[in-house]
């Protein structure tokens, strides 16, 4: 199996790497003469650079972002920096800018593209495939591997997730001069586009990226990496779950240790033990320290403040309840009421004593200190490994508890989704209710009502046929009874399937199943479940996901245990 080929020495990821470099976004195409920008009611011809940035804003006019003050301010500030001095003299107020004609032009263009005849669409697809063939693959140690994101990101306005303070800022165009290329020394080094040169060419086989550049908004590095289906990525994924499986053997010792530390004489140790309990029991993220004012005010376990929790000696018939309310990663709200063990509750009271709401709850704890401790407990252990371990174990236990071998495929799939939902709730993977939810639910309900009617009619038909058979006792009438019963059974199965679909849809409306499925759940658990219960794997994983998890589909038999 290609997952089990010879291992390389430590740190070395490949011996040979050859590729074409990134595919750059085509240059800006100016607007047609008859599409105009208006300032203070009068048409104003913009310079090319200024016009391009105006189109970024115009395209987003019908989006909620452009109604937000912070987005408008950031955009206008960055846009003015790119204007000519003449334009800066005229354009001083965003409220006087009218982008509607430009917006309409792009909406129409989009509609026209959707309405293209089949042959035209096929032609565009062939052009895209040609680019994919040329830039979308590399040669890695003799294997032709697919590249993940081989195109540079187009310029535009930064959106960010949640209420990001930098939303609306200008994401600049990536040029070859910004890009570092990584390949093997003896390979054919990729040519930069004509008239340009690379920032640098490296031959570093201890990393797996093919090209990198720094984006201008958060000053973070962006990489071109291999596709998740590639051998290197598959191995990395597999290793991640193997580390989480190792935790299974020592987790009882770790739990015993942090329970002991709740009574430690050192407050620092007590804080570490309570934080670890939260990371283990609630799958909280560790929460890395961030630069002041750098990003949105989001926290994790170690950076919780006193204002983020409330203690209730009793609440809703439970004792020692901690009420959490904070913004986690990507500004997603984490709200949860949890009954905790008494020593944890007592310790939290102690940690909160004489503190202001904005003080740190774990004031003596850093993620570095916590991760050092975890590393000492088990090689390779971090807070994230707990999340992976608890997510995977939860899925496996829930599947055992919920799957009824007697159920049909639809019933078993509902059990699978319910097990996956339990994990998504544990990891707080939420989504906003889809805009189309109410309408699609209504359509489904109408279908269910129509099917119910068909079932009732079929029941009548069966009764009629049975009466006829009683009277005549002939073979033809008997065959008719069987035929009507078969039809009724089929209709009843279809109705049951629709009802399951409606239940699933309703239970799923605010939960994002994809994140845990792709990042926290050992795919071998799902593959084994499919094989055990005769469920086609494509009912659980789509084509892209099956490519990403090819290693698991290869490896796991029906008796795999995480």
CATH assignment at residue 83: 1.10.10.41
What is the percent of the chain with per-residue pLDDT over 70, rounded to a whole number?
94
Q: How confident is the model at residue 7 (pLDDT cuts 50, 70, 90)?
A: low
Please check whether residues 96 and 135 belong to one and the same domain: no
- Per-residue pLDDT at 554: 85
For 252-303, the pLDDT digits (tens) are 999 999 999 999 999 999 999 999 999 998 888 887 655 444 456 778 888 8
Rounded distance between C-alpha atoms, residue 19 and residue 139, angstroms:
7
CATH assignment at residue 369: 3.90.15.10
- Per-residue pLDDT at 430: 66
Residue 238 lies in a domain: yes
- Per-residue pLDDT at 425: 77
Please check whether residues 532 and 414 belong to one and the same domain: yes
Instruction: Please state the rounded mean pLDDT for residues 368-394.
Output: 90
Which of 94, 118, 142 corresponds to the end of one domain? 118
Has residue 78 got a pLDDT over 70? Answer: yes
Residue 328 lies in a domain: yes
For 529-562, the pLDDT digits (tens) are 999 999 999 999 999 889 889 889 988 888 999 9
Residue 32 lies in a domain: no
**Range list of β-strands (E), 241-373:** 309-315, 318-327, 333-339
Rounded distance between C-alpha atoms, residue 40 and residue 96, angstroms:
5
Instruction: Please state the rounded mean pLDDT for residues 510-516.
Output: 71
User: Which structural domain, as residue segments, surrounds residue 56?
Assistant: 37-118
Please check whether residues 419 and 514 belong to one and the same domain: yes
Residue 128 lies in a domain: yes
**Range list of β-strands (E), 179-308:** 180-182, 200-202, 211-214, 221-224
Rounded distance between C-alpha atoms, residue 480 and residue 559, angstroms:
45
Quick check: is 520 catalytic?
yes
Instruction: Please state the rounded mean pLDDT for residues 310-335.
Output: 86
Please check whether residues 154 and 280 belong to one and the same domain: no
Burial classification of residue 557, based on how many CB atoms lie within 10 Å of its CB (0-12 exposed, 13-18 middle, 19 or more buried): exposed
Residue 363 lies in a domain: yes
Q: Which of 44, 155, 142 is nearest to 93 (CA)?
A: 44
Please check whether residues 431 and 290 belong to one and the same domain: no
The answer to whether 48 touches 28, Cβ cutoff 8 Å, is yes
Please check whether residues 253 and 374 belong to one and the same domain: yes
CATH assignment at residue 524: 1.10.132.10
- Per-residue pLDDT at 307: 93
Residue 279 lies in a domain: yes
Higher per-residue pLDDT: 330 or 291: 330
Q: Which helix (H) or strand (E) holds 144?
A: strand 143-146
- Per-residue pLDDT at 293: 46
Residue 546 lies in a domain: yes
If one counts the domains in the chain, the total is 4
Q: How confident is the model at residue 51 (pLDDT cuts 50, 70, 90)?
A: very high
Please check whether residues 244 and 357 belong to one and the same domain: yes
Instruction: Please state the rounded mean pLDDT for residues 50-57.
Output: 96
- Per-residue pLDDT at 291: 46
- Per-residue pLDDT at 411: 87
For 390-424, the pLDDT digits (tens) are 899 999 999 999 998 998 888 898 899 889 888 88
- Per-residue pLDDT at 422: 82
For 513-553, the DSSP string reads -HHHHHHTS-HHHHHHHHHHHT--GGGTS-HHHHHHTHHHH
Q: How confident is the model at residue 32 (pLDDT cuts 50, 70, 90)?
A: very high
Q: How far is CA 273 from CA 257, 347, 491, in A?
A: 8, 10, 57
Which of 357, 381, 405 corresponds to the end of one domain? 381
Residue 1 lies in a domain: no
Q: Which is catalytic among the residues 23, 258, 520, 541?
A: 520
For 156-166, the pLDDT digits (tens) are 999 877 678 88
Please check whether residues 87 and 98 belong to one and the same domain: yes
Name the pTM for this structure.
Answer: 0.65
Please check whether residues 282 and 316 belong to one and the same domain: yes
Please check whether residues 396 and 472 belong to one and the same domain: yes
Please check whether residues 410 and 343 belong to one and the same domain: no
Average pLDDT over the chain reads: 88
Please check whether residues 173 and 309 belong to one and the same domain: no
Which of 354, 381, 408 corresponds to the end of one domain? 381
């Amino acid at each position: 199996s290609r997952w089990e080929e010879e291992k390389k020495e430590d740190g070395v990821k490949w011996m040979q790497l050859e590729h074409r470099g990134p595919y750059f976004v085509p240059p800006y195409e100016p607007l047609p003469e008859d599409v105009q920008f208006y300032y203070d009611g009068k048409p104003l011809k913009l310079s090319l650079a200024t016009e391009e940035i105006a189109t970024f804003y115009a395209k987003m006019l019908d989006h909620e972002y452009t109604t937000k003050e912070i987005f408008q301010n950031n955009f206008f500030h960055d846009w003015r920096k790119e204007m000519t001095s003449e334009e800066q003299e005229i354009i001083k107020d965003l409220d006087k800018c009218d982008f509607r004609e430009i917006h309409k032009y792009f909406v129409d263009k989009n509609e026209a593209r959707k309405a293209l005849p089949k042959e035209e669409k096929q032609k565009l697809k062939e052009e895209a495939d040609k680019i994919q063939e040329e830039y979308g693959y590399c040669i890695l140690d003799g294997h032709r591997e697919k590249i993940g994101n081989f195109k540079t990101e187009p310029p535009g306005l930064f959106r960010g997730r949640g209420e990001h303070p930098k939303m609306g800022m200008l994401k600049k165009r990536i040029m070859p001069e910004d890009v570092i290329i990584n390949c093997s020394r003896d390979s054919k080094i990729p040519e930069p586009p004509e008239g340009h040169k690379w920032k640098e060419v490296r031959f570093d086989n201890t990393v797996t990226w093919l090209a990198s550049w720094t984006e201008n908004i958060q000053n973070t590095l962006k990489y071109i990496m291999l596709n998740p289906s590639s051998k290197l990525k598959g191995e990395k994924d597999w290793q991640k779950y193997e580390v989480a499986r190792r935790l299974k053997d020592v987790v009882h010792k770790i739990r015993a240790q942090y329970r002991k530390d709740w009574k430690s004489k050192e407050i620092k140790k007590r804080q570490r033990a309570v934080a670890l309990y939260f990371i283990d029991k609630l799958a909280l993220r560790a929460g890395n320290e961030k630069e002041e004012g750098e990003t949105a005010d989001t926290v994790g376990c170690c950076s919780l403040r006193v204002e983020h929790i409330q203690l209730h000696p009793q609440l809703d018939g439970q004792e020692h309840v901690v009420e959490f309310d904070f913004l986690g990663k990507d500004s997603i709200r984490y709200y949860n009421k949890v009954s905790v063990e008494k020593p944890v509750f007592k310790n939290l009271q102690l940690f909160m004593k004489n503190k202001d709401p904005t003080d740190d709850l774990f004031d003596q704890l850093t993620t570095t200190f916590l991760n050092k401790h975890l590393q000492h407990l088990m090689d390779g252990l971090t807070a994230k490994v707990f999340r992976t371990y608890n997510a995977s174990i939860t899925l496996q236990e829930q599947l055992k508890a919920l799957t009824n071998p007697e159920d049909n495929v639809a019933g078993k799939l509902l059990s699978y989704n319910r097990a996956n939902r339990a994990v998504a709730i544990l990891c707080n993977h939420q989504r906003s209710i889809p805009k189309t939810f109410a309408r699609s639910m209504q359509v489904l309900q109408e279908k269910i009502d129509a099917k119910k009617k068909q079932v009732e009619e079929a029941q009548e038909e069966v009764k009629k046929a049975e009466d006829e058979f009683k009277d005549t006792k002939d073979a033809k009438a008997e065959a008719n009874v069987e035929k009507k019963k078969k039809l009724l059974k089929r209709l009843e199965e279809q109705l049951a399937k629709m009802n399951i679909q409606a239940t699933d849809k309703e239970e799923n409306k605010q939960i994002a199943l994809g994140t845990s499925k792709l990042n926290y759940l050992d795919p071998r658990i799902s593959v084994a479940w499919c094989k055990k219960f005769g469920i086609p794997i494509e009912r659980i994983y789509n084509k892209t996901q099956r490519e990403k998890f090819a290693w698991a589909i290869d490896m796991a038999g029906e008796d795999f245990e995480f």
